[in-house]
Amino acid sequence: MPIFSIFAVTTNNMIQASGIHKSFGKLNVIKGIDIQIATSEIVSIVGASGAGKSTLLHIIGTIEKADAGNITINKTDVSKLNQNELAGFRNKKIGFVFQFHHLLPEFTALENICIPAFIAGVSKENARKEAMKLLTYLNLTDRADHKPAELSGGEQQRVAVARALINKPAVVLADEPSGNLDSNSATDLHNLFFKLRDEFGQTFVIVTHNPELAAMADRKLTITDGKISNISVSQ
């Protein structure tokens, strides 16, 4: 039995972005990017520091607003949403995993996982129930009442993954998710992403400098100077 149901999607493309441009002052960071990412696909984004990888990820995740271009996620044109609608869409449809876990130090692992569910209006009882299911799935049940400082780096990142999954998002965006992990923890995290995709059908977009993780993805997009310079398909 799955812990939670697979997101039902009726179109093959989960993410479509066209003509994306983004500048900060006089610095042109994204210079006309077009991408399509299929439902349940895992795509890695690689490139040198400053190439525009994280900026593109933040635009896809609606954290940053593009200067030009359109993005459709799960059949919703996010450019047509007002700020309140965008915040609600982001909370329910997109999960985020960052290099620095951004766990709130004063709250336990269980409480940190519940926060997005509380924001979405889920009751405390139901949020805690779903959070415990995720902790069980991630082999962290015995860490439920521990605060972040009492967890290893790998455990903190798994808690961050559980937090990203609590609202059953259609898309999970990860920015250097294994950047601060040792090699064993990084391998475990990489395998977890693929296990989650296979079991729950979510779409993953992962910015990474880790060549192993990048090569595992269904497709690897290389960004050079704000443009996609290469696309390779996993064998």
Confidence at residue 5, expressed as pLDDT on a 0 to 100 scale? 35
Instruction: Please give the class, per CATH, of domain 40-51+83-233.
Output: alpha beta
What number is the average pLDDT over the span 138-167?
89
Q: Can you give the three-state secondary structure of 81-142, one letter per residue?
A: CCHHHHHHHHHHHEEEEECCCCCCCCCCHHHHHHHHHHHCCCCHHHHHHHHHHHHHHCCCHH
DSSP single-letter state for residue 157: H
Higher pLDDT, 182 or 85: 85
What whole-number percentage of the chain has pLDDT above 70?
93
Asked whether 102 and 159 are in contact (CB, 8 A), the reply is: no
**52-98, pLDDT tens digit by residue?**
888 999 999 988 888 999 999 988 898 888 888 888 888 888 988 88
Helix (H) or strand (E) holding 43: strand 42-46
What number is the average pLDDT over the span 180-188?
78
Confidence at residue 8, expressed as pLDDT on a 0 to 100 scale? 37
What number is the average pLDDT over the span 158-174?
90
Higher pLDDT, 179 or 211: 211
Beta bridge partners of 18: 70
Confidence at residue 205, expressed as pLDDT on a 0 to 100 scale? 93
Confidence tier at 230 by pLDDT (50, 70, 90): confident
Residue 83 is encoded by which pair of tokens? 């700020």
**76-89, pLDDT tens digit by residue?**
898 888 888 888 88
Q: Where are the domains of the chain?
A: 40-51+83-233
Mode of pairing for the β-strands spanning 171-175 and 94-98: parallel
pLDDT exceeds cutoff 60 at 106: yes
pLDDT exceeds cutoff 50 at 1: no
What number is the average pLDDT over the span 179-198?
82
Higher pLDDT, 132 or 98: 132
Confidence at residue 235, expressed as pLDDT on a 0 to 100 scale? 58
Confidence tier at 109 by pLDDT (50, 70, 90): very high
Beta bridge partners of 207: 45, 175
